[in-house]
Amino acid sequence: MSASPVRVVNAPALAGATDGPVVDSDDETLMDLSAVEAAARSIIRNMETVIDGKHSAVSCALTVLLAQGHLLIEDVPGVGKTMLAKALAKSVHCTVSRIQFTPDLLPSDVTGVSVFNQVDRRFEFKPGAIFANIVIGDEINRASPKTQSALLECMEERQVTVDGTTYLLPLPFTVVATQNPIEMEGTYALPEAQRDRFMARISMGYPDNESELRMLDARDTSSPLDGIEAVVTGAELRGMMTAVRNVFASAAVKEYAVSLVRATRDDRDLRLGASPRATLQLIRAAKSRAALHGRDYVLPDDIDALAVAVLGHRLVPSSRVLGHHQDSGAVVDDIVRRIVAATPVPVGAPGHT
Amino acid sequence: MTRSEADTTTGGPPAASGAGQPVPTIRAMRIASAQWPLAGALLLLLAVAGGALAPLLNGTGWWWLMAIVAAVVLLGGAGLRRVGVPGFLGPLFGFGLLVATLTLLFGAGTGWVLVIPTGETLDRFRDLVLAGTLSIEMQSTPAEATAGILFLLGVGAGMMAILIDTLAVVLRVPALAGLPVLVPLLVPGLVLGGKANLPALVLTAVAYLVLLRVEIRMRQAGSTAFTPGRPWAPVAPGGAVVVGGIAVVAAIVVSVAMPVLPGGGLAGARPGGSLLFANGVSPMINLGQDLRRPDAVPVLHYRTTATRPPYLRMLTLDEFSGRNWTARLAPGNRENTVDDIALPPGLSPEIATGETITTIGIDGLATRWLPTPAPARSVTGLLGFWYWNGTSGSIASPSDTTRGQEYTVTSLTLAPTAEQLRQAEADYPSGIQDSLELPAQTPALIGDTAREVTAGAATAYDAAVALQEYLRGSEFDYDTEAPVEADYDGGGIDVVSTFLEVKSGYCVHFSSAMAVMARSVGIPARIAIGYLPGVLSASSSVAGIGRYSVDTHDLHAWTEIYFEGVGWVPFEPTPSRGRVPDYTRETSAAAPNDEAGQTAPSGAARPEDAGAQNAADGEQGAATPEEEAGGLLRLGLLLTGVLALLLVPAAVRVTRRRLRRRGILRGPDGAGVAWREVSDTAVDHGVEVRDTETPRELAGRLRRLVESRPGPAGGTEQESVNEALERLLVAAERSRYARSSGTGDTARSAALAADLDVVLRGIRSGSERRARVQATLLPVSLWQPGAQRIGRPAANA
């Protein structure tokens, strides 16, 4: 059963490792927001030594991590998707595993499997690659739908059930999946329902001239990943996450998020609008972004900045507007931008006015 | 209908949520209950505006009638809506209510169950309308409110009530309800030509503001039905104040400007196209107005075969109530068509007569009285129906006006000799006896003066000539303004008495004084109103017949005295105006011969010619500059008014800024107010502020604006502006989107206000000159508030 080619490249710490797979919230400390901002800056600076000239992608990835969401990085091969995921994972001190998805990867390779222990004469559970704080799922659309859904169920429920026993996944738990655009050969596109589980989708885009030149120099001899180290401990990371949860989202901002999402459902250019889960995740991501900027309250600007990343991959354009476009992503991004530009920003009701 | 419209005006989120299900009924109830205040406000507006008619009518009964009719229509309409009658049927029901009310009040019991009109009622209504129209035309102001006038007022009030009810409630544009109400406000100004009735204007404006306020409350009750606890939006009152302020100032400007406007040339004489000597106006007052008009307007032109250009008489006033002269109502006899007019009464064949033919073309005169040389024998070429009246000698039409008419008059010229007149017997027929009536309380001064003047006169003729000479003497001044200023305008008995003391007035006073004095010594007298002969237009002589043109300054009143055997004979008591008849000149031994030359055809009197005509009379020269000064004054007032109107937006804007600044220093939400001011100022300066934009986006654009045009101090100033802008932005964001902290210490407020000043200065210096001017004079934010949208309540707070 486990003879299938599981390519677990980097799965050093599993159950019983130093940080522990299950982290209770006992040692959580509410971090000061200025400390959160400083820590976030240092993470971003650390990542940018590896990923050059992709500030928005980097900060978006960190936003999603702090909001305890899952991130989908979608782009053509070779632009640094995996590099971004690994840099993020290495910048915080926590367990990281990586799964390279292939068509013959089985669900048990992801979740883990019960193995018969000859010595103890009983079955014992051997956790799969999913048991880590940050799971990098490379080329997730190359796996069979069966395996994909096993991963995605874990993502949603944050637990694994094997042979009737439920194993909780560690906290924090973030899946950073990369995928190639759909028109590439030999892929199984993620269904809409499963894309919905990712908090945000970002695409890297090609680097500009300067960045590409610099990259040539930096990567000539060695991988830049070797040079970076964690700048934030696991406890600090959890403190940051708690701080993010405590960011205040006013009624006006919530209303703005709701009206944005509702607008996607009413838009005639869209066949499928965003789900209520999208609203929830939009607010969570906005809180995270606010914390990254050292604010303890969410601004409509946070929502605006994240709308494309959070909503884009959940929407399906109507065939009419898609027309002869092959790239539905660009079309949808345009639609989201249009909706953002057309939705009135509510003015809060402060005090007595 | 109101309900569905209320739905669309809320602009709320698409009401698909299940929780919104019971809302429409709640809102409808709120709107329905708000009907009463709205109807009340409309009634108030109408009643107050109706009160502006007070200068035109005697007593107060008419006002109560108008108020009652309007109340029935408005409150009845509101009641019907309350019980669920659809709004669009409102005007229909309003009309029904109006008819029922009128039937009850005026039907005199002819209505079925007192309120349903029957054929008999309709006949009665028609009579009332006729009587009302007639008495409006005949009566002078202030008029007695006869049944006919009351009926017309009731109809007017009811129709206006229906109209404003339709505008304000059914169409939901209460701002327009102010328009119909302008009618009663402007009518007195048009008719009497005085200054604006300021108290009435202000009261009406206040009532209008009340209406707007009530309507806004109602609208808000409709739109915030989702959150009952929510206070009203602060936007709307500002808008109402702006609209109301502009309306008040505009009304004042309009009423100040009204007398200056020269009637548009259409009606020639009257602004707004109303008829001369109609619409409840005293002919006397009218006449004075036309004489005081700064610019003469052409009235008519004519060619005549007469050797001397004739006076053109329109009507005669022989009934003297003591308060005013009126034309005796003599129903037009349908057989008295103008192609053959009987000889004037009392004319005996011994009197020498000549026949002249005059062709008259009307340029700008609209009246039902036909100007003709008197006495006319036949008129041809008239359009419409015109009838002559043997007693008054006037030719009038019940249905047509003189506008645009061209007609030819054949008339007699009477040439009685002084001897013939002197021999006339003082035995007057009964029809003429009326022309001796004087009111009971005639001031003694009039009779005394008359007897004194006529002491040496043996006959009626001598007495009349003596009176004419007395009034034309150097003691009396011709002045069109003095009576108005001293408040004794018109022809009433008290006015005559005052005039005899002051000895200054114009033709109205002279003619009525002569008529009253003649009557007091037992000579039948009446007043004729018409036009002086006008001036000969040079270069327009056709076959030796000159063309005379007559303008509004030629409007004139003179006295006619009755002599048995001759009939009514005109006299000219007004100094420096017109021409003394030949038959009165022979007896005046002092009259030099060359005076005949003075009255040559071309020498027809004009105030402007006064210097040439009567060198001794310097008053005429003075009157013209005075008139000019009055015109200038009015022009100045008009300009000031227009200027004030233009400055209203700027003043409102500055006031709002001051209030906000005070609010920042005092209020707990200083940051929000400050940001609103920033956003409004940006709108004023032409920066497009969209409600889909976050404050930060607006701040970004403002920063670019500030940087685009470096101020005089250069970069450091920009720095400070940017920093202040950032501080304001963060404060505003905090106040809007952060947890309410409740900290509002004064130091922070003062810093906010200082930052606000810096930012406003920055925006100002960053804008182009044109934008700056526009921002000052015409701040767009007054009607397009930038960030003043009120956040809709959160769906799931």
Which carries the bigger pLDDT value, residue A245 or residue B274?
A245
Most confident stretch, B192-206, B305-319, B607-621: B305-319
Strands B504-505 and B376-380: unpaired
The amino acid occupying position A114 is S
Partner residues linked to A160 by β-bridges: A167
Q: What is the pLDDT of residue A258?
A: 93
Q: What is the CATH number of domain B283-617?
A: 3.10.620.30
Confidence bin at B194 (pLDDT 50/70/90): low
Cα gap B346→B432, rounded to integer Å: 10
**Cβ pair B14:A254 closer than 8 A:** no
Min distance B98 CA to chain A CA atoms (Å) = 45
- Residue in the block written with tokens 């007149």: B421
**Is the minimum CB–CB distance between B138 and chain A shorter than 8 Å?**
no
Contacts of B177 (CB under 8 A, 6+ apart): B42, B45, B164, B167, B168, B211
The amino acid occupying position A302 is D
Which carries the bigger pLDDT value, residue B66 or residue B197?
B66
**Is the minimum CB–CB distance between A255 and chain B shorter than 8 Å?**
yes
Q: Are the CB atoms for A278 and A314 separated by under 8 Å?
A: yes
**Cβ pair B794:A262 closer than 8 A:** no
CA dihedral B767, B772, B776, B777 (to 10 degrees): -130
Structure tokens of B318? 């022989």
**Is the minimum CB–CB distance between A253 and chain B shorter than 8 Å?**
yes
Cα gap B245→B652, rounded to integer Å: 9
Cα gap B389→B492, rounded to integer Å: 25
Q: What is the pLDDT of residue B577?
A: 75
> Could you tell me which chain B residue has the CA closest to the CA of A346?
B791
**Is the minimum CB–CB distance between B696 and chain A shorter than 8 Å?**
yes
Cα gap B516→B437, rounded to integer Å: 9
Parts of chain A belonging to CATH 3.40.50.300: 1-246
Indicate if the pLDDT at residue A286 is higher than 90: yes
Indicate if the pLDDT at residue B717 is higher than 90: no
Confidence bin at A200 (pLDDT 50/70/90): very high
For B588-614, what is the mean pLDDT?
Answer: 39
Instruction: Give the total residue count for chain B.
Output: 797
Min distance B664 CA to chain A CA atoms (Å) = 12
Q: What is the pLDDT of residue B291?
A: 66
**Cβ pair A346:B792 closer than 8 A:** yes
Q: Which of B60-74, B276-290, B562-576, B661-675 has the lowest mean pLDDT?
A: B276-290
> Could you tell me which chain B residue has the CA closest to the CA of A290?
B738
The DSSP annotation for B426-454 comes to S---HHHHGGG---SS--HHHHHHHHHHT
For B364-387, what is the mean pLDDT?
Answer: 82
**Cβ pair B790:A347 closer than 8 A:** yes
Q: What is the pLDDT of residue B420?
A: 81
Q: Provide, rounded to the nearest whole percent, the portion of chain B with pLDDT above 90.
A: 0
For B395-413, what is the mean pLDDT?
Answer: 81
Q: What is the pLDDT of chain A when averaged over all its residues? A: 81
Q: Which residues does chain A have within 8 Å of residue B797's beta carbon, measured at their own beta carbons?
A: 251, 254
Q: What is the pLDDT of residue A306?
A: 92
Which backbone phi and psi does B319 adopt, to 5 degrees?
A: -110, 125
H or E element at residue B37: helix B35-51
For B34-41, what is the mean pLDDT?
Answer: 78
SS3 assignment, position B360: strand
Q: Where are the domains of chain B?
A: 23-229, 283-617, 650-782
Cα gap B418→A93, rounded to integer Å: 135
Q: Which residues does chain B have within 8 Å of residue A350's beta carbon, measured at their own beta carbons?
A: 669, 671-672, 735-736, 740
In A, residues 229-248, which contact B (CB 8 Å cutoff)?
248
SS3 assignment, position B552: helix
Which bin fits A180, alpha (ψ -120 to 50), beta or left (φ > 0)?
beta
CATH of A1-246, one of 3.30.360.10, 3.40.50.880, 3.40.50.300, 3.40.605.10: 3.40.50.300
Q: Which of A62-71, A195-204, A214-223, B230-239 has the lowest mean pLDDT?
A: B230-239
Indicate if the pLDDT at residue A282 is higher than 90: yes
In B, residues 637-676, which contact A (CB 8 Å cutoff)?
667-669, 671-673
ipTM value greater than 0.90: no
- Mutation for testing the A interface, residue in B17, B736, B737 having most A CBs under 10 Å: B737
H or E element at residue B529: strand B525-531
Indicate if the pLDDT at residue B290 is higher than 70: no
Peptide bond into B91 cis (omega under 30): no
Q: What is the pLDDT of residue A15?
A: 36
**Cβ pair A353:B793 closer than 8 A:** no
Q: Which residues does chain A have within 8 Å of residue B789's beta carbon, measured at their own beta carbons?
A: 344, 346-347
Q: What is the pLDDT of chain B when averaged over all its residues? A: 73
**Is the minimum CB–CB distance between A349 and chain B shorter than 8 Å?**
yes
Which carries the bigger pLDDT value, residue A184 or residue B578?
B578
Q: Which residues does chain A have within 8 Å of residue B792's beta carbon, measured at their own beta carbons?
A: 255, 346
The tens digit of pLDDT for each residue in B721-778 reads 888 888 888 888 888 888 876 555 667 788 888 888 888 888 888 888 888 888 888 8
Q: Which of A135-149, B594-608, B650-664 has the lowest mean pLDDT?
A: B594-608
**Cβ pair A299:B234 closer than 8 A:** no
**Cβ pair B790:A349 closer than 8 A:** yes
Min distance B264 CA to chain A CA atoms (Å) = 50
**Is the minimum CB–CB distance between B790 and chain A shorter than 8 Å?**
yes
**Is the minimum CB–CB distance between A186 and chain B shorter than 8 Å?**
no
**Cβ pair B790:A266 closer than 8 A:** no
Partner residues linked to B340 by β-bridges: none
Confidence bin at A182 (pLDDT 50/70/90): low
Please tell me whether the overall predicted TM-score, pTM, comes out greater than 0.80 for this model: no
The beta-carbon neighbor of B694 closest among A250, A295, A300 is A300
Instruction: Give the total residue count for chain A.
Output: 353
The tens digit of pLDDT for each residue in B224-262 reads 433 333 333 334 445 556 666 666 666 666 655 554 333
Three-state DSSP string of chain A: CCCCCCCECCCCCCCCCCCCCCCCHHHCCCCCHHHHHHHHHHHHHHHHCCCCCCHHHHHHHHHHHHCCCCEEEECCCCCCHHHHHHHHHHHECCCEEEEECCCCCCHHHHHEEEEEECCCCEEEEEECCCCCCEEEEECHHHCCHHHHHHHHHHHHHCEEEECCEEEECCCCCEEEEEECCCCCCCCCCCCHHHHCCCCEEECCCCCCHHHHHHHHHHCCCCCHHHHCCCCECHHHHHHHHHHHHCCECCHHHHHHHHHHHHHHHHCCCEEECCCHHHHHHHHHHHHHHHHHCCCCECCHHHHHHHHHHHHHHHCEECHHHHCCCCCHHHHHHHHHHHHHHHCCCCCCCCCCC
Min distance A239 CA to chain B CA atoms (Å) = 21
**Cβ pair A348:B735 closer than 8 A:** yes
Report the Cα B609 to chain-centroid distance in Å.
Answer: 32
- Mutation for testing the A interface, residue in B669, B736, B749, B789 having most A CBs under 10 Å: B736
Whole-Å CA distances, B331 to B136, B397, B529 = 15, 11, 20
**Is the minimum CB–CB distance between A347 and chain B shorter than 8 Å?**
yes
The amino acid occupying position B694 is T
* Cα end-to-end distance, chain A, whole Å: 68
> Could you tell me which chain A residue has the CA closest to the CA of B16?
A262
Confidence bin at A298 (pLDDT 50/70/90): very high
Report the Cα A72 to chain-centroid distance in Å.
Answer: 5
For A132-158, what is the mean pLDDT?
Answer: 86
Indicate if the pLDDT at residue B294 is higher than 80: no
Confidence bin at B540 (pLDDT 50/70/90): low
Q: What is the pLDDT of residue B191?
A: 67
In B, residues 715-774, which contact A (CB 8 Å cutoff)?
733-740
**Cβ pair A252:B736 closer than 8 A:** yes
Indicate if the pLDDT at residue A287 is higher than 90: yes
Min distance A233 CA to chain B CA atoms (Å) = 29
Cα gap A254→A299, rounded to integer Å: 10
Residue B260: DSSP 8-state: G
Peptide bond into B375 cis (omega under 30): yes
Angle at which helices A276-292 and A251-266 cross, to 10°: 140
Cα gap A104→A84, rounded to integer Å: 26
**Is the minimum CB–CB distance between B787 and chain A shorter than 8 Å?**
yes
**Cβ pair B797:A348 closer than 8 A:** no
Most confident stretch, A139-143, B29-33, B275-279: A139-143
Compute the Cα dihedral for A17, A21, A22, A24 and give only its sign: positive
Indicate if the pLDDT at residue B793 is higher than 80: no
**Is the minimum CB–CB distance between B231 and chain A shorter than 8 Å?**
yes
Q: What is the pLDDT of residue A3?
A: 37
Whole-Å CA distances, B173 to B2, B165, B229, B591, B762 = 12, 10, 27, 71, 39
The beta-carbon neighbor of B795 closest among A255, A295, A304 is A255
Q: What is the pLDDT of residue A75?
A: 82
Confidence bin at B343 (pLDDT 50/70/90): confident
Confidence bin at B338 (pLDDT 50/70/90): confident
Q: What is the pLDDT of residue A285?
A: 94
Confidence bin at B100 (pLDDT 50/70/90): confident
Which of B205, B545, B158 is CA-nearest to residue B356?
Answer: B545
> Could you tell me which chain A residue has the CA closest to the CA of B698?
A301
For A193-208, what is the mean pLDDT?
Answer: 86
The beta-carbon neighbor of A250 closest among B697, B737, B795 is B737
Inter-chain Cβ pairs, chain A and chain B, closer than 8 A: 97
Q: Which residues does chain A have within 8 Å of residue B734's beta carbon, measured at their own beta carbons?
A: 297
The amino acid occupying position B642 is V
Structure tokens of A262? 């509702």
Contacts of B349 (CB under 8 A, 6+ apart): none
The tens digit of pLDDT for each residue in B437-458 reads 787 777 888 888 888 888 888 8
Q: What is the pLDDT of residue B779?
A: 81
> Could you tell me which chain A residue has the CA closest to the CA of B700?
A301
Q: What is the pLDDT of residue B677?
A: 86
For A151-174, what is the mean pLDDT?
Answer: 85
Indicate if the pLDDT at residue B141 is higher than 80: no
- Residue in the block written with tokens 């695409």: A203
The amino acid occupying position B517 is M
Indicate if the pLDDT at residue B221 is higher than 50: yes
Parts of chain A belonging to CATH 1.10.8.80: 247-343
- Yes or no: is domain B650-782 CATH 1.10.1760? no
**Cβ pair B736:A248 closer than 8 A:** no
- Yes or no: is domain A247-343 CATH 3.40.50.300? no
Cα gap B658→B639, rounded to integer Å: 28
Q: Which residues does chain A have within 8 Å of residue B692's beta carbon, measured at their own beta carbons?
A: 340-345
B152 burial via Cβ count (<10 Å: 0-12, 13-18, 19+): buried
Cα gap A54→A48, rounded to integer Å: 8
Contacts of A142 (CB under 8 A, 6+ apart): A101, A102, A103, A180, A186, A187, A188
The beta-carbon neighbor of B739 closest among A248, A258, A352 is A248
The beta-carbon neighbor of A301 closest among B231, B673, B694 is B694
Structure tokens of B714? 């250069």
